[in-house]
Structure 1
Amino acid sequence: MSMAIPFVREFVPRYGEAERLTPLIRRVLARNPGPFTFAGTGTFIVGNGASVAVIDPGPDDADHLTALLKAVEGETVTAVLVTHGHADHLPLARPFAQAVGAPVLGHAAVAPDTVLGDGDEVRGDGWTLRAVATPGHATEHLAFALPEENALFSGDHVMGWSTSVVSPPDGDMDAYMDSLERVIAGNYDTLWPTHGGPVTDPLPFLEALKAHRLERDRQVLDQLVHGPASALDMVPALYAGIDRALWPAAAQSLLAHLVRLDRRGDVIAAGEPSAATTYHLRG
């Protein structure tokens, strides 16, 4: 049985204001709470004054744009960074960047002004942001390390309040697990997810996430011992304790595990991968 994940769910939302978190980090929270965004999208401002970077400007929301512009008033924004292209992270990047006269930086898939790859660095006055390729939740997902505070802006790859959705075909469980190992190897002091509060004791949290995914692999195989089944068939047994409204997302996560197990040769699909596709044990 996997260890319990020490989720971080205590979080007091302060919408529309620039909340000072550390000497180098502020956060402005968008008012877009939901089952996949927790209290909302946290846009991070890194640095002070002469050159600041903004990470994940967030959803297409006029009030959030106004709050971000107010937060950096009198400062020079030199970089707008995006972790990935989902609708709660990317849409405001271009309008905000145009308003402050700064370039958008990120993976090629988000159509930035400057493409960032793994290990690329962006520097400002007193800060450095280094791109860390972390595909899995999304193919193009980048996290950003802040060496000056030994911290990582983990986007949606690692969230303190919940496990991340890994939804094929863009989401990939093998890639997710590889990325998790990269974050573990980074030995960061703090993780700053885009949604929710920080993870301040990352190693046991990350090890628990890893154990949880491996346990889910085993649970899927155990389900198939009883006969062929699809991800949709397995959801009631494996996600009995969650809101039924989240079952479709849960089915996608199970599909990601099934695709991973198919690659390993443990299971065989009866057709093209989908939540309704039947799988059976090999041999």
Structure 2
Amino acid sequence: MAGPPPKPWPTGEAQQLEPLVRRVLAPNPSPYTYTGTQSYVVGIGGGCAVVDPGPDDPEHLLALDAAIGDEHVCAIMCTHTHRDHSPAARPLAARTGAPIVGCAPLVLDDSGPRADASFDRTYEPDRVLADGEAMTGPGWTLRAVATPGHVSNHLCFALEESGALFTGDHVMGWSTSVVVPPDGDMADYMASLEKLYAREDRVYYPAHGEAIEKPRQMVRGMIGHRRQRENQILRHLQEGPLEAKDFVPRMYKGLDARLHGAAKMSVTAHLIDLERRGLVQRSGEVWQTKPSTQTP
């Protein structure tokens, strides 16, 4: 997990990434959001869409207003409903009259450690996009790519005119995603990575971190990383039963203590996946390999 780059960060600035895409960084940096959530304005001249409007922060909303300028906002599009991604949708819709389009609503109690990323209970979309459905505007098409795993309602959006993919939190430019059960699901997350690996997107624009210029290489590395973590878990369990928290100091050496809870939840997501596949079992909080999987 990389640390943030040196300040100053371009918070509040509209950065032109390509002819159809501008990026605006929200003022919400944290150990879980890196330098903050990145909102994207897609389209120029005639109408635009705002992807992941971010937190309901007055400073960020003013920055989005400046980035949008006099353009008509055709849609406000959310990849998922964590509180650092979707809460600005409602006030931005009130300002612009634009519909909220994208992921389905999801209201759950977040059992994980991410107070900044618990579920947004105010999110009310005007239109939910299923996998493969699109929102169009003047000179742009954003097609939904269902990518559950980080959360069950996660979507990516493919900008068909340029080959860019807005990846939300599914693929980030600075760290792997946290998968927090019960809504986060490791098997779904891995399947979604495989789905992206089969695509031919030119570049990824994540909600956190820099643009990813070699998408398939990045995804291949993420799949390998998760398989490595899975193998680590099984090796440690060969030595004896463990609780999920016991894996963290063994597997995440040097990790910022503030991130230990997130690491524990990702380990738990792996353990649940391994349990479903019949490789491990649990008794209360204690996990162990099944007798048939233990080495003699």
Q: Distance in 1 between matches of 2:217 and 2:98?
A: 38
Q: Deviations over 1:122-144 (max 9, x none)?
A: 11111100000001111100000
After superposition, residues 87-236 of structure 1 pair within 5 angstroms as 87-109=83-105, 110-236=123-249
Structure ranking higher on relative contact order (CA contacts 8 Å, 6+ apart): 1
Matching residue of 1:266: 279
The one of 3, 21, 28 aligned to 2:24: 28
SS in 1 for 2:84: coil
TM-score (norm 2): 0.89
1:13 Cα deviation (Å)? 2.5
Contact 1:49 1:74 (8 Å CA) reproduced: no
Work out which of the residue numbers 82, 86, 90 in structure 1 matches 2:82. 86
Return closer, same or farther for 1:8/1:203 CA change in 2, 3 Å cut-off.
Answer: farther
Distance 1:161 1:8 in 2: 8
CA RMSD of aligned residues (A): 1.5
Q: Deviations over 1:52-110 (max 9, x none)?
A: 00001101201101111121121000000000000100111111011011000122224
- CA distance in structure 2 between the aligned counterparts of 1:63 and 1:114, rounded to whole angstroms: 27
Check whether the contact 2:52–2:86 (CA below 8 A) recurs between aligned residues. Answer: yes
Post-superposition shift, 1:269? 1.6
| Contact 1:160–1:193, Cα closer than 8 Å, also in 2 | yes
Distance 2:263 2:66 in 1: 38
Give how far 1:168 is off: 0.6
Correspondence for 2:45 among 35, 44, 49: 49
Over 4 Å off, 4+ runs? 7-12
Query: Which position in structure 1 is the counterpart of 2:116?
Result: none
Distance in structure 2 (CA, Å) of the matches to 1:246 and 1:23: 37
Name whichever of 238-247 and 260-269 sits farther off: 238-247
Q: 1:22 to 1:10 in 2, by over 3 A?
A: farther
- Alignment correspondent of 1:17: 13
CA contact (8 A) 1:8 1:199 kept: no
Conserved 8 A contact 2:4-2:35? no
Query: CA separation in 2, counterparts of 1:38 and 1:217?
Result: 25
Q: 1: CA distance between counterparts of 2:103 and 2:202?
A: 25
For the 8 Å contact 2:51–2:78, the answer to whether it is kept is yes
Q: Is the 8 A contact 2:178 2:262 kept in 1?
A: yes
Task: Establish whether residue 77 from structure 1 lines up as the match of residue 77 from structure 2.
Answer: no
What is the percent sequence identity of the aligned residues? Answer: 49
How many angstroms apart in 2 are the aligned matches of 1:65 and 1:150? 28
Distance 1:65 1:9 in 2: 23
- Provide the rounded CA distance (Å) in 1 between the counterparts of 2:43 and 2:5: 26
Whether 1:282 aligns to 2:282 is no
**Equivalent residue letter for 1:28:** V
Unaligned runs of 5+ in 2: 106-122, 292-296
Distance in structure 1 (CA, Å) of the matches to 2:104 and 2:39: 21
Q: Which amino acid aligns with 1:265?
A: G
User: Which consecutive residues of structure 1, in runs of 5 or more, have no partner in the other structure?
Assistant: 272-276
Cα offset, 1:10, TM superposition = 5.8
Distance 2:23 2:133 in 1: 23
SS in 2 for 1:242: coil
Whole-Å Cα distance in 2 between the matches of residues 188 and 46 of structure 1?
Answer: 17
- Cα separation, 2, equivalents of 1:29 and 1:105: 21
